[in-house]
Amino acid sequence: MNLGFIGTGKIASSVITGICRSKITYKKIIISPRNRRIARSLKKKFKKIIIAKDNQQIIDKSNWVFLSVTPTVGEKIIKKLKFKSNQTIISFISTITLSQLKKTIKVKAKIVRAIPLPPISLKKGPVPICPPNAKVKTFFNKLGTTVEIKNEKSSINFWSTSGMMAPFYELLKVMTDWLVKKGVKRDNAQKYITSLFLALSEDAVVNSKKDLKYLVKESQTPKGLNEQGVKELSKAGFYKSLEKTLNRIHKRLNK
């Protein structure tokens, strides 16, 4: 099976890196000449990558086609491309809906929307897909955790929370900088903070059958440091403001 990527930017290169490090079997990965720098570096890093001469050549040579361009570029180029009805087309494009894709792609190919995130390059993280599709599910399960979504509208909910990746890193940065201000060496500070939050996230995944409120509770002792932390941040409106931001991001995606 050949896999083709239209648009070789941040998310395409993360997915391609994940695929090349995974057990997925494929013949070739055919990528866009754009972005030139990223395309060349991927070809240099991994075997079985071919840089196509243009977008149509990617489609002609691929069984699965991944759309990994921005919405503005997608609106401009998809309508000019000729897809095949036996192809599976997986769109990463944030704001183009399934019905819009079906209309512009014209042929009766299988079309699935997916929301991979950069840690897919480490074969980690959730990948919501819509509509459910067994083969696409199996594929992304080798690169992370596939979450099947029946209703396209609800994928916007997942998408909204992915806007919290940079705020999460900012949180780690603020704590690391704080330790540095207290005189800790930066590499030690960063090692401490990142391994603490990695451990907490792993613990949360291991306990994912439990409601998270139990982890919040179990990690506090009466009058302890964590009780103070959660109480003070709640009082200061930290979590409410998180919810408000999620609502505003959601509103933006719903337009």
Ligand X SMILES: NC(=O)c1ccc[n+]([C@@H]2O[C@H](COP(=O)([O-])OP(=O)(O)OC[C@H]3O[C@@H](n4cnc5c(N)ncnc54)[C@H](OP(=O)(O)O)[C@@H]3O)[C@@H](O)[C@H]2O)c1
Q: How far is the CB of 250 from ligand X (least distance, A)?
A: 15
Q: Are 89 and 67 in contact, with CB atoms under 8 Å apart?
A: yes
| Residue closer to ligand X, measured from CB, 60 or 227 | 60
3-state helix, strand and coil shares in percent for the chain, rounded to the nearest 5: 55, 15, 30
Closest residue to bound ligand X by CB: 9
Rounded Cα distance between 130 and 113, Å, is 5
Q: How far is the CB of 34 from ligand X (least distance, A)?
A: 4
Q: How far is the CB of 32 from ligand X (least distance, A)?
A: 4
| Residue closer to ligand X, measured from CB, 145 or 188 | 145
CA-nearest of 94, 113, 127, 110 to 15 is 127
Strands 126-130 and 110-114 turn out to be: antiparallel
| Residue closer to ligand X, measured from CB, 81 or 189 | 81
Q: How far is the CB of 4 from ligand X (least distance, A)?
A: 11
Cross-strand pairs, 5: 31, 66
Q: How far is the CB of 241 from ligand X (least distance, A)?
A: 23
**What kind and span of H or E run contains 35?**
none
Q: Which two tokens stand for residue 31?
A: 């990528």
Q: How far is the CB of 87 from ligand X (least distance, A)?
A: 17
| Residue closer to ligand X, measured from CB, 125 or 189 | 125
Q: Are 163 and 251 in contact, with CB atoms under 8 Å apart?
A: no
| Residue closer to ligand X, measured from CB, 157 or 220 | 157
DSSP SS3 for 116: coil
Question: Looking only at Cα atoms, what is the longest distance across the chain?
Answer: 65
| Residue closer to ligand X, measured from CB, 56 or 219 | 56
Q: Which residues bind ligand X (CB under 6 A)?
A: 6-12, 32, 34-35, 55, 68-71, 73, 77, 92-94, 115-118
Rounded Cα distance between 13 and 9, Å, is 6
